[in-house]
Amino acid sequence: MSCSTCRSTSFVTFKHQALCGNCKKELHPGEAVDMNLVCINCGNEPYSRCYTQPGKQEVLISGLCELCFDEITSEPEEEGALEEPEIELPF
């Protein structure tokens, strides 16, 4: 099947809803049958990029594969220890 609006054959999930992978129109139950599930960030098949059970569950919640989810939510690497600025007290 394909999206009735734009004829895309891919879909994404977000908050347990199926959306067209192209126009993001909400798909009716059964409309996503035979369509390809893709990650909303990288466009790859998300379950092939999930390595844990929580990662697979996250696909249905955020629409992200585990690798993209980890990349987006990771803490930025620190280049060095942050130093506290010295504050001069007026007394």
pTM: 0.67
Hey, how many other C-beta atoms are within 10 angstroms of the C-beta on 63?
Answer: 25
Q: Render pLDDT for 18-44 as a digit per residue (tens, 0 to 9).
A: 888 888 888 887 777 778 889 999 999
Q: Rounded distance, CA 70 to CA 50, Å?
A: 10
In the chain, where the domains are located? 10-69
pLDDT band at 91; cut points 50, 70, 90: low
What is the predicted pLDDT for the residue at 29?
74
pLDDT digits (tens, 9 = 90+) for 32-87: 777 888 999 999 999 999 999 999 998 888 889 999 999 999 887 766 555 666 76
CB 8 within 8 A of CB 20: yes
Q: Is 27 left (phi over 0), alpha (psi -120 to 50) or beta?
A: beta
Strands (E), the chain: 10-14, 17-20, 36-37
